Chains A and B, each alone.
Chain A
Amino acid sequence: MTGPVLKVEGLTKTFGGLVAVDHVDFTLPGGGLHAIIGPNGAGKTTFFNLISGFLPATAGRALFLGQDIIGKRPHEISRLGIARTLQIKSVFNGLSVYDNVWIAAKGQSTFLNPFRAASSYTEVASEAAALLDEVGLADRRDEIAGNLSYGDVALLEIAIALATKPKLLLLDEPVSGMSPGETERTVEIIKNCSKRLDVILIEHDMEVVFGAADVITVMNQGAILCEGPPNAIAKDPSVQEAYLGVPEDEEAADA
């Protein structure tokens, strides 16, 4: 297959008078870990919401492997091969860790047989078990998801997303609220994922972003400010400006 994994053209979302995402053009050529950073309110999560079908776009389109996904609903987009985690961690709280992943792995089936026991799907069961191994939650499999620590919930959510066998994984602040140890482990898991599928990562932890990402896109006020490899982004004055503001004397000089 040629062509980019994701090609976004003129994607726009307005809430009343507020332009949350402003004519964004974005291309994900595929291969590697792509990070999106930007100050609060830059439109990063709204961008995710648009390409995962959570919000209808005001204008523009987004081609995933050549197919326009704008206007499709979340479950349709999931079945095309995009999985995501949410900024506010979202799992099936009342169910066991294992069932969380099992349900996600089974979610891609077109037919849910009401007369066959769920436990008889050995393939789904081994997929779920393997994913719990991968994220290190194997010994927590019978625990109720709602009783897990915050970091473990985030890992479970990643396992849930991976269980849908995505081609593209969208991670929204996966390490927020994690201890340094948990962060290190999670970054390792994300890096491993990015070897077999495309990952877009929204993250505020700059150490994580600059350590792990191959390409970084910076958003500010709904638009893309710049894009490039980590070392180029780190030196870019417009990025520092977006994060830290314009020094007062320069502002005066501009006026």
Chain B
Amino acid sequence: MGMFGKLEPMQALGLLGALFFLTAPYALPLVVPDFWINITAEILIWSLFAASVNLLLGYTGLLSFGQALYFGMGAYGVSLSIEFWHFSFWPAAAVGVAVAMLSAVVTGVFAARLTWHYFAIITVVFSLIFFFVAVGWKDVTGGDDGMPFTLPPVLKIGGFELTLLDRTFQYYFILAVVASCFALMHRLLQSPLGKAFVAVRENAARASLVGYNPYMVRLVSFVFAGFFAGVSGVLFALFSRYASAHFLFWTVSGEGVVWAIVGGAGTLFGPVLGAAFLIIVREELSVYWEHYLLVVGVIVILCVAYAPAGIMGLLRKGIDRYRRRPAAAVEKKSADAPADGNRKEARR
């Protein structure tokens, strides 16, 4: 208790979350069946995907309905390099990320000129184009059936081999990559570039009047989002040992948007909460009821209507309320800032 006493409540929660993810492969089997380790790994991958949506929606103010395109490009990039060109693990993964970023540059050049619904429409159209190409080009992509591949080892020194076939190693590998990406995103958001994203979201005209080129800022943000989506696609392909045209479908993009919004767009870890919550709902509910998506729909509607800052917003509100009762005098202030990621800056 003494150790937690010095922490802000949100930091304590974050520490608990980190502890959970760090010990999951050993702690989870004590309480739930083993397959929950893989579900937790999947939550991590989809959190990163949702974070890519969040970077655009929560920080730069762009609603992308096409992030599945870069996810799918990452997945195909890694699987094609392994299956056709027999690349080893790391070069294949690098190809996946590079292909995703490259497609983000090519589509972003057009998409970043637009905002609001026009931006949402053009992103969904781009992803549909690539989806239909992937479905049609069966020889290469395997179409709807997907293209399985054989996992190369992550590391091989003499007789010593590390592969993702080891479930515990696979889990920690995914955790390490996802955690590094979140650290990178945190860095990015605290940087001058991150401030420029937020400036363009808040008021693009004012941003241009002080010297920022809103188009360039949006494009750079779009490519970074393509990077994060690409990494998550690479991870998911390695995790499921195949890539499928379905990865590029717009419903995948839509799920990313839903996870980001339910978790709390504009907060770093909101997407983790959103993805975790809704994937657990899916796992638990889909066993009993095939129309479980109706429940997800209701959750999303309630969230948008009553908790626009998502689970993260509800948590903060709850903590603020709890703290205001005792020892309100100690607190400097609790300004009711607009519920988004700028609270931290506002408190500085």
Mark A residues whose CB is within 8 Å of B.
Answer: 52, 54, 73-75, 78-79, 83-84, 86, 90-96, 98-99, 102-104, 106-109, 112-119, 121, 142-144, 146-147, 160-161, 163-164
Contacts and interface: CB of A to CB of B under 8 A. Distances in A.
Which are the 9 A-B pairs with shortest beta-carbon distances? A107-B211, A107-B210, A92-B202, A74-B208, A112-B193, A104-B210, A114-B193, A112-B192, A96-B346
Nearest to B191: A114
B11 interface: no
B347 A52 contact: no
Interface in B197-225: 198-199, 202-203, 205-214, 224
A107 B190 contact: no
Contacts, number: 129
Contacts of A86: 205-206, 209
Interface in B327-345: 335, 337-338, 340, 342, 345
Contacts of A91: 203, 206
B188 interface: yes
B345 to A, nearest CB: 5
Interface centre among A90, A106, A146, A163 (most CB of B within 10 A): A106
A75 B203 contact: no
B142 interface: no
B342 A95 contact: yes
A107 B213 CA distance: 9
Given A92-B198, A95-B346, A108-B210, 9 more contacts: A75-B214, A96-B346, A96-B348, A103-B196, A106-B192, A116-B191, A119-B190, A142-B347, A143-B335
Given A95-B345, A103-B210, A118 B195 contact: yes
Contacts of A107: 196, 199, 207, 210-212
A103 B345 contact: no
B202 A93 contact: yes
A78 B192 contact: no
A142 B344 CA distance: 10
Nearest to A98: B348
A73 B213 contact: yes
A173 to B, nearest CB: 16
Given A102-B195, A144-B338, A117 B348 contact: no
Nearest to A101: B210
B211 A164 contact: yes
Nearest to B184: A115
A97 to B, nearest CB: 9
| Of B195, B209, B345, B346, most A-chain CB atoms within 10 Å | B209
B342 A114 contact: no
B130 to A, nearest CB: 27
B191 A75 contact: no
B254 interface: no
Contacts of A93: 202-203
B194 interface: yes
Contact of A144 (B188, B196, B208, B346): B346
Given A94-B338, A144-B335, A117 B203 contact: no
A83 B209 contact: yes
B191 A74 contact: no
Contact of B187 (A90, A96, A99, A114): A114
B191 A117 contact: yes
A106 B190 CA distance: 13
| Interface SS majority for chain B | helix
11 contacts: A74-B208, A86-B209, A92-B202, A93-B202, A93-B203, A107-B207, A113-B193, A114-B224, A117-B187, A118-B194, A164-B211
A75 B208 contact: yes
A103 B202 CA distance: 12
Most buried by B among A54, A93, A99: A99
Nearest to A115: B187
A188 to B, nearest CB: 24
Contacts of B192: 106, 109, 112-114, 116, 118, 121
B180 to A, nearest CB: 13
A164 B210 contact: yes
Contact of A118 (B191, B203, B208): B191
A102 B195 CA distance: 9
Contacts of B191: 112-118
A17 to B, nearest CB: 27
A6 B196 CA distance: 30
Nearest to A163: B210
With most chain B CB atoms within 10 A of its CB, the pick from A79, A92, A113, A147 is A92
Given A94-B342, A106-B195, A75 B213 contact: yes
Interface string B103-147: 000000000000000000000000000000000000000000000
A77 B67 CA distance: 34
A240 B214 CA distance: 43
A117 B183 CA distance: 13
B197 to A, nearest CB: 10
Contacts of B203: 90-93
A75 B211 contact: yes
Contacts of B335: 142-144, 147
Contacts of A103: 195-196, 198-199, 207, 210
Nearest to B217: A112
Interface in B211-243: 211-214, 224
B105 to A, nearest CB: 16
Nearest to A97: B346
B202 A96 contact: no
